[in-house]
């Protein structure tokens, strides 16, 4: 579970409690949750940990979050075991300890929790807290993917594409990427777009490639935004539109660094030379509005 996913989980907890977000002070609903947690309710303990982890309704306190996660995890709550694994993985509220993270991930994964299965697979793939074992990583990824966990589906796509553990199979790679992309995983949407563009693992289809690139670009994937800029500049698969080209180059450049960013800025500025002052203002306005409508994760 990413930090952003844990924020979503905490927001869901607060919504279920009828608490507005953000909240600056403790509420009667959180007080009632605390009473249940102190009485030993594992679900309440995990939910209180999520609230402390994200500072929603209470001051943020990762040590207190870890304490509540542990109380629930010791009772066998899979979500809490996973959350405690995250804390050990990142050293938040507890000393960083990859082996301890693996232990808690495994306890949750053995109960069938897909995000724990995915994280355990990642630990095996990287050799973090356990001996590196790509076959075991693949096993855990597949268990999570078979439950519909998008990140695991995307990872299986990459393993089939590269021929790691399994024979390289572009068709199977695309099948897993497509499953993840259909769930909204931005990196998979970008990859599916590129597969349609080059015709690898499925028939070449420039229009379908553009559709997937746009879906990824609308989630802030800078590579997809850059491709949209170049497509609108050249009129490749879309009507030529310098305003759209400038907007997408501008957005992509704002998300990247180094030489790639410099190259995109040069492309954007070359497009600007083809625009009237009014058209340039329109392109800049569109980029600002897009940014305002798509806030970046902290």
| pLDDT reported for residue 1 | 44
Contacts of 150 (CB under 8 A, 6+ apart): 179, 180, 183, 184, 185, 188
pLDDT tens-digit profile, the chain (298 residues): 444 445 445 445 545 554 444 444 568 899 999 999 999 999 999 999 999 999 988 999 999 999 999 999 999 999 999 999 999 999 999 999 999 999 999 999 999 999 999 999 999 999 999 999 999 999 999 999 999 999 999 999 999 999 999 999 999 999 999 999 999 999 999 999 999 999 999 999 999 999 999 999 999 999 999 999 999 999 988 999 999 999 999 999 999 999 999 999 999 999 999 999 999 999 999 999 999 998 876 5
Residue 297 DSSP symbol = P
153 falls within a domain: no
Phi and psi, residue 39, nearest 5°: -85, -5
User: Whole-prediction pTM value?
Assistant: 0.85
119 falls within a domain: no
| pLDDT reported for residue 7 | 41
CA distance 28 to 16: 13
| pLDDT reported for residue 20 | 44
Q: Where are the beta strands (DSSP E) in the chain?
A: none
Q: Tell me the CATH number at 30.
A: 1.25.40.10
167 falls within a domain: no
52 falls within a domain: yes
C-alpha neighbours within 13 Å on the C-beta side of residue 184:
3
274 falls within a domain: no
Q: Count how many domains the chain has.
A: 1
76 falls within a domain: yes
Host domain of residue 42: 1-96
A 10 A CB-CB count for 27 gives 16
45 falls within a domain: yes
First to last CA, the chain: 15
* Contact between 236 and 222 (Cβ < 8 Å): no
24 falls within a domain: yes
């Amino acid at each position: 579970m990413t930090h952003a996913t844990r924020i979503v989980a905490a927001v869901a907890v607060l919504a279920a409690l009828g608490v507005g977000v953000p909240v600056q002070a403790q509420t009667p609903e959180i007080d009632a949750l605390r009473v249940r947690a102190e009485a030993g309710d594992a679900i309440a303990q995990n939910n209180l940990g999520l609230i402390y982890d994200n500072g929603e309704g209470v001051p943020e306190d990762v040590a207190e979050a870890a304490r509540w996660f542990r109380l629930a995890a010791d009772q066998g709550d899979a979500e809490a075991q996973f959350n405690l694994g995250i804390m050990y993985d990142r050293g938040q509220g507890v000393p960083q300890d990859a082996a301890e993270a693996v232990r808690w991930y495994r306890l949750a994964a053995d109960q069938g929790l897909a995000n724990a299965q995915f994280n355990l697979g990642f630990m095996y793939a990287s050799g973090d807290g356990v001996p590196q074992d790509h076959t075991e990583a693949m096993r855990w990824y597949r268990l999570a993917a078979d439950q519909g966990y998008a990140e695991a589906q995307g990872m299986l796509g990459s393993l089939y594409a590269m021929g790691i553990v399994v024979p390289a199979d572009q068709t199977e790679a695309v099948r897993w990427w497509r499953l993840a992309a259909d769930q909204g995983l931005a990196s998979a949407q970008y990859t599916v777009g590129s597969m349609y563009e080059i015709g690898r693992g499925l028939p070449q289809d420039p229009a379908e490639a553009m559709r997937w690139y746009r879906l990824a670009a609308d989630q802030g994937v800078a590579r997809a935004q850059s491709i949209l800029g170049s497509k609108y500049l050249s009129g490749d698969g879309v009507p030529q539109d310098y305003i759209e080209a400038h907007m997408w180059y501008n957005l992509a450049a704002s998300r990247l660094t180094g030489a790639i960013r410099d190259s995109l800025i040069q492309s954007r500025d070359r497009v600007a030379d083809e625009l009237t002052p009014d058209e340039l203002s329109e392109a800049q306005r569109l980029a600002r509005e897009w940014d305002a409508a798509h806030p970046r994760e902290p």
